[in-house]
Amino acid sequence: MRTIRLFKLSKGFLILFIMAVILTTIHQYTYSNVPLFTQYLIKTLLAQPGIADNTISVGTVNLPSFLLTFFQKDNEVLNIILRIAIALLLLQVFRFSLRFFEMWIKGALLEKMAEKLRIKLYGHIQDLDYEFHNNADTGDLIQRCTTDVETTTTFLTTRMLDLIYLFVTLFFGAYQLYFINPTMVWVSFSLIPLVATSSIIYFIKIDKIFQNIEETESSMMTVVQENLSGSKVVRAFANEAFEVEKMETKNREYANALRKANSIVAVYWGSMDFVSITQYLVIIAIGVFAVQNQTMDAAGVVASLALVGMLIWPVRGLGRIINDYGKALVASDRIYHILEQPSEYDNDGTEEPKIKGNIEFRNVSFKFPDTQESLLKNVNFDIKAGQTVAIIGRTGSGKSTIINMLMRLHEYQGGDILIDSIPLNTISKKYIRSQIGVVLQDPFLYSKTVYENIAIAHKDAVKDRVIKAAEIAALENDIRTFKNGYETVVGEKGTTLSGGQKQRVAIARVLVNDKPILIFDDALSAVDTQTDLMIRQALLAKNYQQTTIIITHRITTAKEADQIIVLEKGSIEAIGTHEELSTQEGLYKKLWDIQGRLENAFKETLKEGDSDAS
Ligand SMILES: Nc1ncnc2c1ncn2[C@@H]1O[C@H](COP(=O)(O)OP(=O)(O)OP(=O)(O)O)[C@@H](O)[C@H]1O
């Protein structure tokens, strides 16, 4: 079953594979003729010209008849040798050309299959839901898309062709040897069961060990990946020694698993070498014995020794094929583990209505699959198109979850969400996401220029539009201070931006596109209150008529919204304007009393500072 699944991954490459098999077959047949040239040559040298007609009788050699006719056209030994040399040279040139095409097709087969599988896997990972990505190990996923794909496709192409090569070589080696001395064929074949049995024992042992290698390598990759992405945190906590120790443990586990595999590999190859050499010695003994009994001549012994090589050496490769078969089974299981995850688009909606931006939550409830209690309980609210709404609440109260549901990253289990009176779950996921512009608290910037980062979701964005978006996001002044302005490279390989600058690039990025719904998920947390105000005023001045949802912990950010939704432990505690909520007992009033007082004190301090200075 696992094997069938493994081979299914090679679908679509049969023609290339058959072409490679045909080339291997022709190549190995021509190769099996090479020792016969030597046999013919020695026979010619040893033959005595006939007394009556001066002809040279060479006897039987299993070469193609057209070659024999070509050689026998001459009676001069030297001329025959010249003919043999010319024919051998032409044969080698032909073999070289075959080998070239064979290698080229093998390479193409491997690369094309790996490319197709990588794209299939990567494409499927894109289609997996938010929950999957939340729980996935990035290092492990990378390994599945790279090493596992390589292991699987190398087996399906290179190793499978090695197997064909093995059988074809055995067949032609045995076929040619049979004409020289059949006993040698039976003796050579008698040792094959021993080699095959050892290979099977080896495979059973190595399969589990390779599984362990894959697992330990994957957990080591995860440690490396986490450490590199979290290098700032590691340094901030002076945790380098602990991280190195963690890596050492994982590295040791991986090295131990490899060492275990290596010792089994060494035992296998050592014993295979021993069997092969024994086989060679037996064949030499049979040859010597046959010459003594005059059932074979010296030319036959020389040719048979070369041909026996065709029966002995390829069988040793069986171990590697079986070895890689074990690895490929494990790797393909890991690939299927991803491919068999249901796509988030399996239960998608089909509607793609023009969105105005009215949002209604009707008794919506939601529970994460791995939790006992519902997070959101009977959530009800109405947002009219073009309104600005703030959602405020304690940390963990479910604010981001509401937004994630709106983007269909999570599916609600109870109630209904309506967009312009259309049930959200009937609208296509990709479509609704394309209609919502989201800025997250910790936005991701690509290793590209500031300009490219702003224009990323709008490939045809004109420069004016990008600059306008940067102005609204209060980013223009910062960009002017960068050495290369908009062409400054940011992200992993470029200039490090501050948290607030990153957030503002992300805001500008969203503003470049005119989306009917805008969401700021704590997206102004890293900018100061004044910049926050500037951005919000610029947004209002732009008068996009977009529905804007602002999630925030900062009352001053929320207070100018058309309505404020106060969320408490997954339920709506209150909805109203700042004027209504700041006088009403509850969480909002409490927060306003604390934050408002602090803000006023702060403003007073600033004023005092100004008057002192003047
Ligand atoms: N995938 C998940 N599985 C289980 N629980 C989750 C998952 N994602 C979030 N939670 C939990 O759900 C709760 C609400 O999370 P959410 O991110 O919506 O809160 P929030 O109000 O936006 O918080 P904050 O203000 O801190 O961003 C939290 O207790 C969080 O731990």
Query: Do 385 and 313 share a structural domain?
Result: no
Report how far ligand 1's centroid is from the alpha carbon of 138 (Å).
Answer: 21
Query: Do 31 and 92 share a structural domain?
Result: yes
pLDDT digit string, tens, across residues 249-303: 999 999 999 999 899 888 888 888 888 788 788 888 888 898 898 888 888 888 9
Q: Widest CA span of the chain, in angstroms?
A: 134
pLDDT digit string, tens, across residues 524-543: 777 777 777 777 777 766 65
| pLDDT of the residue at 75 | 76
| pLDDT of the residue at 512 | 85
- Does residue 29 surpass a pLDDT of 90? yes
Query: Do 161 and 208 share a structural domain?
Result: yes
Query: Do 110 and 23 share a structural domain?
Result: yes
Query: Do 472 and 560 share a structural domain?
Result: yes
Query: Do 365 and 329 share a structural domain?
Result: no
Residue 610 lies in a domain: no
Report how far ligand 1's centroid is from the alpha carbon of 243 (Å).
Answer: 28
N-term to C-term CA, the chain = 85
**Residues pairing with 419 in the sheet:** 359, 422
pLDDT digit string, tens, across residues 32-44: 999 999 999 988 8
Residue 600 lies in a domain: no
What single letter denotes the amino acid at residue 565? I
| pLDDT of the residue at 60 | 78
Nearest to 278 by CA among 315, 250, 233, 224: 315
| pLDDT of the residue at 196 | 72
pLDDT tier for residue 195 given thresholds of 50, 70 and 90: confident
Last residue of a domain, one of 339, 372, 397: 339
Q: Give the CATH number, domain containing residue 157.
A: 1.20.1560.10
Query: Do 299 and 369 share a structural domain?
Result: no
Residue 353 lies in a domain: no
Q: Name the percent of the chain lying above pLDDT 90.
A: 39
Report how far ligand 1's centroid is from the alpha carbon of 548 (Å).
Answer: 21
Give me the sheet containing 376-383, strands edge to edge: 376-383, 359-366, 414-419, 422-423
Report how far ligand 1's centroid is from the alpha carbon of 331 (Å).
Answer: 34
| pLDDT of the residue at 294 | 84
DSSP 516: S
Overall residue count recorded for the chain in this entry: 614
pLDDT digit string, tens, across residues 304-342: 888 888 887 787 777 778 878 888 999 999 999 999 999
Out of 374, 377, 399, mutate this one to test ligand 1's pocket (max ligand atoms within 8 Å of CB): namely 399
Nearest to 418 by CA among 341, 355, 502: 355
Q: Is 397 in the pocket of ligand 1 (CB under 6 A)?
A: yes
Report how far ligand 1's centroid is from the alpha carbon of 552 (Å).
Answer: 15
Q: Give the CATH number, domain containing residue 372.
A: 3.40.50.300
Last residue of a domain, one of 306, 339, 372: 339
Residue 440 lies in a domain: yes
**Average pLDDT for the chain:** 86
Query: Do 527 and 447 share a structural domain?
Result: yes
Q: Is 130 in the pocket of ligand 1 (CB under 6 A)?
A: no
Q: Is 611 in the pocket of ligand 1 (CB under 6 A)?
A: no
Nearest CA to ligand 1 atom 11: 396
| pLDDT of the residue at 461 | 66
pLDDT tier for residue 194 given thresholds of 50, 70 and 90: confident
Is the ipTM, as predicted for this complex, more than 0.90?
Answer: yes
Last residue of a domain, one of 278, 311, 339: 339
520 vs 508: CA distance, rounded Å:
12
Query: Do 578 and 473 share a structural domain?
Result: yes
Residue 609 lies in a domain: no
Residue 608 lies in a domain: no
Query: Do 363 and 332 share a structural domain?
Result: no
Residue 379 lies in a domain: yes
Q: Is 371 in the pocket of ligand 1 (CB under 6 A)?
A: yes
Beta strands in 54-107 (DSSP E): none
Taking residues 237-241, report their average pLDDT.
85
Q: Give the structural domain span for 48.
A: 2-339
| pLDDT of the residue at 51 | 55
Taking residues 482-499, report their average pLDDT.
78
pLDDT tier for residue 53 given thresholds of 50, 70 and 90: low
- Given its phi and psi angles, is residue 370 left (phi above 0), alpha (psi -120 to 50 degrees) or beta? alpha
Taking residues 122-134, report their average pLDDT.
90
Q: Is 396 in the pocket of ligand 1 (CB under 6 A)?
A: yes
Report how far ligand 1's centroid is from the alpha carbon of 131 (Å).
Answer: 12
Q: Which atom of ligand 1 is nearest to 570's Cα?
A: 14
Out of 366, 368, 552, mutate this one to test ligand 1's pocket (max ligand atoms within 8 Å of CB): namely 368
Residue 234 or residue 112, greater confidence = 112
- Does residue 509 surpass a pLDDT of 70? yes
Taking residues 356-369, report their average pLDDT.
93
Residue 604 lies in a domain: no
Residue 233 or residue 128, greater confidence = 128
Query: Do 329 and 452 share a structural domain?
Result: no
Q: How many CB atoms lie within 10 A of CB 71?
A: 21
Give the count of domains, the chain: 2
Is residue 256 within a helix (H) or strand (E), and if so which, with residue range? helix 240-292
Query: Do 545 and 421 share a structural domain?
Result: yes
pLDDT digit string, tens, across residues 279-289: 788 888 888 89
